[in-house]
Amino acid sequence: MRNARLARALVALVGTATLGLAACSSGSGGTAGGSTTLTVWHYYNTDGQVQGLERLATAFKAKHSGVHVQFQYVPVEQMTTKAVTAAGSKKGPDVLVFGASGTYPLAQAGAIKPMDDWWSTYPSAKQFPDGVLQKIDGKLYGVQGYVNLLGLWYNKDLLDQLGAQVPTTIPEMQDVMAKAVKAGKQGITLTGKPGLESQWQGFPWFTSNGFTYGDAQAAPMAQTYTMLQDWIAKGYLSKEAATWDQVAPFQQFTAGSSVFAVNGNWQIAAAAQAKFTYGVAPLPITSQGGVLLGGEVQNVGAFSKHPDLAKEFLEDAFFSVDGELTLLDAFGSIPAHAEAAASAKISNDPILSVFGKIVQQQGRPSPSPQVPSKSVDKVETLVGNYWSKAISGQGKPDQLANELIDQLKPLLQG
């Protein structure tokens, strides 16, 4: 009797737990009622990005009847952990669209597999530059179907009003910002929130001063922090930038409050809301400086139930000329496919054509190849945090730069 009661309690518990686990489980879609579901994990969250995905899915479904493409949004900071955890229980999506810094942990955790065999037989593979191929130990773990990068957005009406030209050097830019402040406007908006985004934002400026991850020295960083704090002291840049992500500062720019904004090509739809004439120019950095070529990486999930269909989806959606031009229309991403990059849609567009030139002139691979793969997240977060500290004035430039380099060096040694 006693045993029977215990057994009943245990069965009830196991039943409840099983139901709970079943409800919580996630991962690759299956085949039900004659239709196949292809799951895609991504972290796109702007309207343009989501619409772009929907258009890709519609085009794919038109060619593959009975296939349903299911997009699952995963917040960017949770993507790697979620995919790694799923891989631990041999689960995961059919397709992963992830940040480049996640390539190493995802590969090591087995959430993605090398795609060399597939890529070597893909007819258009040669159309993609090496910079968009994410490799670890010589093996290909992902391809960026497009790139995103930073440029200098400017308010043309305000420049004309100030009698200024688009700057090509930092001193020229500072002169314009001084005029803007005198006219009651801000000089520039940029990102300063602690974390990865700020590393991306800071990279052009500190590399312009001679910093490299291959030989990390404090002096170029101190010079960069001095420049930032000088901009704040003179009113060119709001100290509030220390909390700005990439969305808030661009909203300020489109509202007409600043003459410049350091922001990306994905803001092309948001820029259209501005009630003034605007343009984009390369950042006025030195020839030593570079702009990181971001953009999401794509690969088939290691535990995909439909790997062949997933490959086909990626080839059609992210790696084809049509697919990349769809994403270009949706949110201004610069195609990595050479044929798509040569499209008139880019060369005839005054904004996109400039971003295309920036790729050629200032583009640098992301993550930086000198950063050991296993330290990418730590290095980028650390550098981003110190960028934020410099903006908020949490220390003098020399002190901050020395602190940063002390922590950075062991990480860069691998």
Partner 1 sequence: MSSSVPPVSAPTSTTAAGPSAPARVRRGRRYGRAVDRRTALAIPAGALLLALAVWPLAQLGSMSLHTVSAATLNSTWDFVGLDNYAAMLREPDFGQVVVNTVAFVLIVTTIGMVGGFMVAVAVLSSTRGGSFLLGLMVFVWALPPVVNGSIWKFLLADQGLVNQALRALGGQGLGFLYDSKFALWSVALVNAWAVVPFNALVLRAALLGVDPQALEAAELDGARPWQRAWHVLVPAGRTAATVLTILTIVYAFRSFDFIYVMTSGGPGTASTTLPFLAYSEAFLTLDYGRGAATALIALLVVVVLTLIYARDVRRTEGEA
Q: Which is nearer to partner 1, 194 or 307 (CB)?
A: 194
Q: Which of 115, 388, 397, 408 binds partner 1 (CB under 8 A)?
A: 388
191 binds partner 1 per the rule CB under 8 A? no
Structure tokens that stand for 42 in this block: 């991504």
Structure tokens that stand for 285 in this block: 């950095």
Q: Which is nearer to partner 1, 14 or 272 (CB)?
A: 14
Structure tokens that stand for 333 in this block: 């991403």
17 binds partner 1 per the rule CB under 8 A? yes
Residues 23, 11 contacting (CB under 8 angstroms): no
Binding to partner 1, residues 252-311 (CB under 8 A): none
117 Cβ neighbours under 8 A, 6+ residues apart? none
Q: Which of 249, 243, 242, 246 is nearest to 187 (CA)?
A: 249
User: Segment near partner 1 (CB under 8 A), from 24-32, 193-201, 207-215, 304-312?
Assistant: 193-201
Tell me 212's DSSP state: B
Minimal distance, residue 80 CB to partner 1, in Å: 5
Binding mask 62-101 for partner 1 (x = CB under 8 A): ---------------xx-xx--xx-xx-------------
Q: Which of 195, 202, 249, 284 binds partner 1 (CB under 8 A)?
A: 195
Q: Which is nearer to partner 1, 46 or 108 (CB)?
A: 108
CB atoms within 10 A of CB 91: 18
Q: Which of 36, 46, 353, 407 binds partner 1 (CB under 8 A)?
A: 407
Residues 364, 291 contacting (CB under 8 angstroms): yes
210 binds partner 1 per the rule CB under 8 A? no
Q: Which of 325, 391, 405, 408 binds partner 1 (CB under 8 A)?
A: 391
Binding to partner 1, residues 95-124 (CB under 8 A): 102, 104-110
352 binds partner 1 per the rule CB under 8 A? no
CA distance 203 to 291: 7
Cβ-based burial of 138 (10 A; exposed 0-12, middle 13-18, buried ≥19): exposed
Residues 260, 189 contacting (CB under 8 angstroms): yes
Minimal distance, residue 12 CB to partner 1, in Å: 6
CA distance 12 to 235: 66
Angle at 393 between CA 179 and CA 190, to 5 degrees: 50
CA distance 305 to 301: 9
Binding to partner 1, residues 354-383 (CB under 8 A): 374, 377-378, 381-382
Q: Which residues bind partner 1 (CB under 8 A)?
A: 1-2, 5-6, 8-10, 12-13, 16-17, 77-78, 80-81, 84-85, 87-88, 102, 104-110, 192-196, 238-243, 374, 377-378, 381-382, 385-386, 388-389, 391-394, 403, 406-407
